[in-house]
Amino acid sequence: MNAPTIFSLVTTTLTLLVASFSQVTWAQGFAPEYVRIRDITYAGSGCPAGSVGSDVASDLRAFTLLFDQYQANVGPGIPLNQKRKNCQINLNLEIPNGWSYTLFTVDTRGYVSLEPGVRALQQSLYYFQGQMRSGRLQTVVYGPADRNYAARDQIPMENQVWSPCGAARSLNINTEVRVDNSAAPYRQGMITVDSIDGQFKQIYGLQWRRCS
């Protein structure tokens, strides 16, 4: 039997750009007086109760979500419901009036080791409470592979979903990790969070601009 395939997601960085709906140029060097995570709730097969942490950077330009029980497995003898794990996150980010932000890019860094025919996917779907539009960011890696990697996915400007100016709306992020061996059913695969610090990490960078 082949050794288990390991896809180690070490760090995922999602960038949020904060800007006015009516302005088309980015401001540099601005930040609001304060930012804090008022409340965070989460549920899903990849994030049992007590397994997600959060923090706001001291310069107010990033906040971090940490997951320590997020893994999926596929292969002979492994139940099918183990091949995909997800975590639905509801985040209330408290910021001063007059600011707006959007998820913009996702930078994924880690180590990938996949047997031939096995595929690994990590993605995030996000939307704001009360809005119909949503955005999606994803990274796919195909086996065979055995290397460190860094990948950047970027949402085009016309597809970005902005938080509304002048209204407090929750940001919903549905993250997912999965492995697929349908092209090689006897191959094993695993997406795991066994990074050096033992946590799957998402760092959301913040860039600020006032609404008009």
| Residue 38 lies inside a defined structural domain of this protein | yes
Strands (E), the chain: 6-18, 36-43, 52-56, 62-67, 72-74, 84-94, 101-114, 119-128, 135-142, 145-154, 171-180, 189-192, 200-207
Give me the percent of the chain exceeding a pLDDT of 70. Answer: 64
pLDDT at 1 over 50: no
Can you give the pLDDT at residue 54?
76
Q: Which domain holds residue 114?
A: 6-207
> What is the model's pTM?
0.71
User: Distances from the Cα of 164 to the Cαs of 98, 131, 143, 207, in angstroms?
Assistant: 10, 9, 41, 16
User: What contacts 76, CB < 8 A, 6 or more positions away?
Assistant: 1, 185, 186, 188
3 vs 43 pLDDT, higher one: 43
Q: 45-59, 169-183, 188-202: which range is least confident on average?
A: 188-202
Residue 80: band (very low, low, confident or very high) from pLDDT cuts 50, 70, 90: very high
CA–CA separation, 40 vs 172, rounded Å? 10
Residue 212 lies in a domain: no
> Is 176 inside any structural domain?
yes
Q: Give how many domains the chain has, as a whole number.
A: 1
Q: Does residue 117 lie within any of the structural domains?
A: yes
Selection from 199, 212, 181, 174 nearest residue 70 by Cα: 199
What is the average pLDDT value for the chain, to the nearest integer? 71
